[in-house]
A and B are shown apart, each in its own frame.
Chain A
Amino acid sequence: NAGVTQTPKFQVLKTGQSMTLQCAQDMNHNSMYWYRQDPGMGLRLIYYSASEGTTDKGEVPNGYNVSRLNKREFSLRLESAAPSQTSVYFCASGRTYSNQPQHFGDGTRLSIL
């Protein structure tokens, strides 16, 4: 019963490098989300996808791109990493109704030097 799986769990990058964070869910959910979590800031939505083939910006989309590859997978790409993007990144999935919970992956801890 995997739920939401994120890879990698940890990553260190140098400024300017690119990287893709992977997320997959096996709960047949329509909606998927990417959040970043910084100390004292809570969870902030980067991008979300309400269904396969659609994506939309969240609160803090600058510097990121996403791809909803299929219903199961939603990836987050940093094209040119910056130290300000050092954070813990969480992927979540859920049904596209406000009366349904979101299920979170274990997170990716990303450091950019």
Chain B
Amino acid sequence: QQPVQSPQAVILREGEDAVINCSSSKALYSVHWYRQKHGEAPVFLMILLKGGEQKGHEKISASFNEKKQQSSLYLTASQLSYSGTYFCGTDGGATNKLIFGTGTLLAVQP
């Protein structure tokens, strides 16, 4: 039931782009994205809802394919501050009870 994230890890140079994918085997109502820096709490990035509504930071974009039960997070012109582990959380029932993926480690180098 845990969503599958890919890739597991990615290393970028500053200014490069990255895509992180999240795939579920169950029908989804929403997908949440969080970023966690080492030793810190996860921080909210974005929510994508069934039907197309999105809520989140202006500089981050994402997509949600309801039929394929997949979401992708797009990080463009990466900065050093983008480094961290990215988690998707999926909600199948509009309850805000999330099942999180195992995370994607992103390292941005100068």
Contact = CB atoms under 8 A, between A and B. Distances in A.
Interface of A: 31, 33, 35, 40-45, 48, 50, 58-59, 90, 94-107
Contacts, number: 67
B55 interface: yes
Task: Please tell me the size bucket of the interface on B.
Answer: 20 to 34
A99 B47 contact: yes
Contact of B41 (A40, A50, A94, A105): A105
Given A90-B42, A99-B49, A101-B44, A45 B94 contact: no
Given A98-B49, A98-B91, A103 B44 contact: yes
Interface string B26-63: 00011010000000111110010100010100000000
10 contacts: A45-B97, A45-B99, A90-B41, A90-B42, A96-B95, A98-B91, A99-B49, A99-B53, A100-B47, A102-B32
Given A101-B47, A106-B40, A106-B41, A96 B96 contact: yes
Interface of B: 1-2, 29-30, 32, 40-44, 47, 49, 53, 55, 87, 89, 91, 93-103
Contacts of B44: 101-103
A59 B99 contact: yes
A97 B32 contact: no
Residue from the set A35, A58, A99, A106 with the largest chain B CB neighbour count within 10 Å: A99
Given A42-B103, A59-B99, A95-B96, 12 more contacts: A43-B42, A45-B97, A59-B1, A90-B41, A96-B95, A98-B96, A99-B47, A99-B49, A100-B47, A100-B96, A101-B44, A101-B55
